[in-house]
Structure 1
Amino acid sequence: MSAQSLEITAAHFGEARSPFLSARRVSELLGVTQSELAKLVGVARNTLVAKSGARKVDLALSPVVRILAMATEMAGDENRAVIWFKHQPIPGWAGKTAYDLVGEGKSDKVLSYLEAVRSGVYA
């Protein structure tokens, strides 16, 4: 994925006139509540809505947005990427989905898997 396409996709997850990612937009895309999103990314629910926590939320949401951007590029459709993220078990992870792995703090493993698939390696 080129830096420019990632930037355009990441901008899709932000609020107008804000340099930070929007928890509201990410939760709407995933079809989860903000409480569920907070638990997924490991921050308090109040942190998601507090302006003072914007930088912390941005750091917490970044891996999810990167995974969704890469999955969208590969699937060709944002909705298909979300379905994959939430429901498709990743080979080698005992039936766990990307959603499960992100919730366990293993978003780097999901990104590595996507990179391998994009490079032509299928686990």
Structure 2
Amino acid sequence: MVTPFDPNSHIISARAFATNLGITQAELAKLTGIDRHALYSRTDLLKLEEAVRPLMSILNLASEMTGPDQCAALWFKHQPFPSWAGKAAFDLVSERKAERVLAYLRSVQSGLYS
């Protein structure tokens, strides 16, 4: 599971999450809609936690279907979907459409799509 927590402190860490997902912290800011500088603020930890929650759900579901976290991260960033005009999950989340990705993954998981 890709984790947003610093392994040493068990406090949510934008740096750890971005590194585990294989993206830059600027990309994480874009995905979450949080200002890049706020990613490092202790006062914004709750905001960051709420923002990464949909990402965690997507990545957890994806890793159940793809296998190791690295495969889920690659799927998330690069797998285009014809029904989404060739966009990947990363693109949809960037457009604030994480719920569409979650709905798709849940339907795949339930066997509706394959």
User: TM-score scaled to structure 1, two decimals?
Assistant: 0.83
1:14 counterpart (5, 28, 32): 5
1:77 counterpart (68, 79, 87): 68
The CA deviation at 1:17 is 4.2
5+ unaligned residues in a row in structure 1: which ranges?
1-8
- The CA distance in 2 between the partners of 1:98 and 1:71, in whole Å, is 10
2:60 partner amino acid: A
| Superposition RMSD in Å | 1.7
* Contact 1:23–1:61 under 8 Å retained in 2: no
1:71 partner amino acid: A
2:87 maps to 96
- The CA distance in 2 between the partners of 1:49 and 1:56, in whole Å, is 11
1:21 partner amino acid: I
User: TM-score scaled to structure 2, two decimals?
Assistant: 0.89
Provide the identity percentage: 44
Number of corresponding residues: 113
Structure 1 segments, 4+ long, off by >2 Å, are: 15-18
1:44 counterpart (35, 53, 68): 35
